[in-house]
Structure 1
Amino acid sequence: MGFFSPRPTTAVRRAARSHRTDTVLAQAPLVTSSGEAWAFATRAELLMISAPGTPAGQGEAESRGAPAVVVHREWADVDRATYDTESNVIRVHWVDGDEPTPLTLDGRRSVLPQVLRERVQWSVVLAEPVRLPGGGSARVAVRRRVDGELFSQVIGGDDVDLTDPEVAGAIDAAEARVRNAAGLPA
């Protein structure tokens, strides 16, 4: 392993440039079963690009697949992320309930986990856990987009039944409280 950090191939850099909205704060190569993959964290979003068929250690001309954007989501779409230092895997959990996205880092030192954490925390202005009738739980939050726009989110599991008037009432009340505290209309 050399002194210099690895760089994505020209094709991956070009794909990243065409999909990102601002400057890259951190980037890291990812371990995949086939090809090259990179995660990019910008002020506004998380981007993951994969270039299938790029043999490890081969030149850029050896790429057999066009880079594809696998993840392109703003920070307010991230519910949370966990980083397992033993396996070197960041698991990104989404507010919409999509399957968590694993980012397996290649073992080199990277600031990606720290930047990812900082960007998610920056996007959360206020959050309140909500105990629901029947024992369930949810969270309501006021989140921030990179342009400063504030909006509210309700994050709950599959077991949250919004057709239940008591559950809907508890969530609505909590959402009104956090919106009011953030200066948003309730």
Structure 2
Amino acid sequence: MRLIPRRPKRAVMPDGMEQALGLDEPGTARLLAWSVLVGGGAAAATVRDLRIVTPRGERMVHTWDAVDRAVWDQDSRMLVIWWVHSRKTTPLEIQDDVGRLPEVVRERVQSSVVLSASVPMRRGKPAKVALRRDPDGRLLAQSLLPPGLRADAPDLKPVIDQALADLWAEAGEQGLNAGAPPAI
């Protein structure tokens, strides 16, 4: 009888995946999680970024501050990624989550958000503003507007600018940022 349970063997990344994701390149950040995608392709989370090779062969590398959010559906094994600067989503159908990718994606996105706020809009869904850390640790400001609203609209720009200024002030009060906020 064994008193100490054996640790499960560490899953090994399939041949060619490391190279396809660019994980073999010098200076690549430490790998945290990975998964093979249905239909081919793969996705990997590093300390600095999310790397994806779609089943069609498209390669994407985005730092964590470029990911707005991700939603995991266990039943369909689908991880859907929303990007900050695009309305287009990236659905990833995960073949076998031996690498804990959905958990790590959630953790990395959340850890990049320093402060955030919801900004009520005159009609419809609220806008979101946030201060996030880039891979080098610097704070950057982001605003995410609901569809149909433009950031440069004369009645909207001052509201968003004020919400971001409030976040910068709060970050300064908490000692989260060094120096003045960048121009918005």
Structure 2: runs of 5+ lacking an equivalent: 1-8
Within the candidate set 69, 92, 111, 1:103 is matched to 92
Residues 143-154 of structure 1 aligned to structure 2 (within 5 Å)? 143-154=132-143
Residues 150-169 of structure 1 aligned to structure 2 (within 5 Å)? 150-169=139-158
Taking only the aligned residue pairs, the percentage that are identical comes to: 32
Query: Structure 1 residues 29 and 135 mapped into 2: Cα distance closer, same or farther (>3 Å)?
Result: closer
Displaced runs of 4 or more, over 6 A? none
Within the candidate set 27, 30, 34, 1:23 is matched to 30
Would you say the 8 A contact 2:42–2:53 is kept in 1? Answer: yes
- Structure 2 residue aligned with 1:73: 62
Q: Supply the RMSD in Å over aligned alpha carbons.
A: 2.2
Instruction: Tell me, in whole angstroms, the C-alpha distance in 1 between the residues paired with 2:125 and 2:119.
Output: 9
- Structure 2 residue aligned with 1:49: 53
Query: Structure 1 residues 102 and 50 mapped into 2: Cα distance closer, same or farther (>3 Å)?
Result: closer
Would you say the 8 A contact 2:45–2:104 is kept in 1? Answer: yes
Q: Please, what TM-score do these two structures have when normalized by structure 1?
A: 0.79
Structure 1: runs of 5+ lacking an equivalent: 53-67
Once the two structures are TM-superposed, the CA of residue 110 in structure 1 deviates from its matched residue by 3.7
Letter in 1 for 2:115: L
- Structure 2 residue aligned with 1:13: 18
Query: Structure 1 residues 134 and 49 mapped into 2: Cα distance closer, same or farther (>3 Å)?
Result: closer
Instruction: Tell me, in whole angstroms, the C-alpha distance in 1 between the residues paired with 2:102 and 2:55.
Output: 22
Would you say the 8 A contact 1:136–1:160 is kept in 2? Answer: no
Instruction: Tell me, in whole angstroms, the C-alpha distance in 2 between the residues paired with 1:163 and 1:49.
Output: 34
Would you say the 8 A contact 2:36–2:96 is kept in 1? Answer: no
- Structure 1 residue aligned with 2:117: 128
* Corresponding residue pairs, total: 165
Would you say the 8 A contact 2:145–2:151 is kept in 1? Answer: no
| Larger fraction in helix | 1
Instruction: Tell me, in whole angstroms, the C-alpha distance in 1 between the residues paired with 2:13 and 2:162.
Output: 49
